[in-house]
Amino acid sequence: MDTTETTQSTDEVIGRFLAFVEAGVRPESGVLSDDVVLDATVPNWRFTVRGADAVGAELGRWYADPGTFEELTRTPLPGGELVTFTLRWQENGVPHAVHQAHVVAVSGGRIEMAEAGRG
């Protein structure tokens, strides 16, 4: 496979994922692979979610309100990207912010694995 094609596909897929995060909506069908795995470390615990429906639902809970990226860094990795960001949003009129790091693997034009750290 052409490396340029792979990079563009990875860039586009992760760009679509980040657009959903910022918009406060669940990722649409086709962004997550059917057997995607979310390995998440959040304050005081770690958990794993498997499958497009379950991962999409979890991410929909995390990013339920529209927000704005205050900081966003995307670092290419073989087969994916390291994405770090600070997201700000308002929930019931109360300002919130979160700083996260995601290692996102893309294959076949879909996200197949995401390791996430939330703080």
pLDDT range class, residue 27, cuts 50, 70, 90? confident
Rounded CA-CA distance 40/33 in Å is 17
Is 3-118 in CATH node 3.10.450.50?
Answer: yes
pLDDT range class, residue 7, cuts 50, 70, 90? very low
Q: What is the pLDDT of residue 91?
A: 92
Taking only the tens place, the pLDDT of each residue in 28-60 is 878 999 999 999 988 888 999 999 999 999 999
> What percent of the chain is predicted at pLDDT more than 90?
77
Task: Kindly report the pTM of this predicted structure.
Answer: 0.87
Rounded CA-CA distance 83/85 in Å is 7
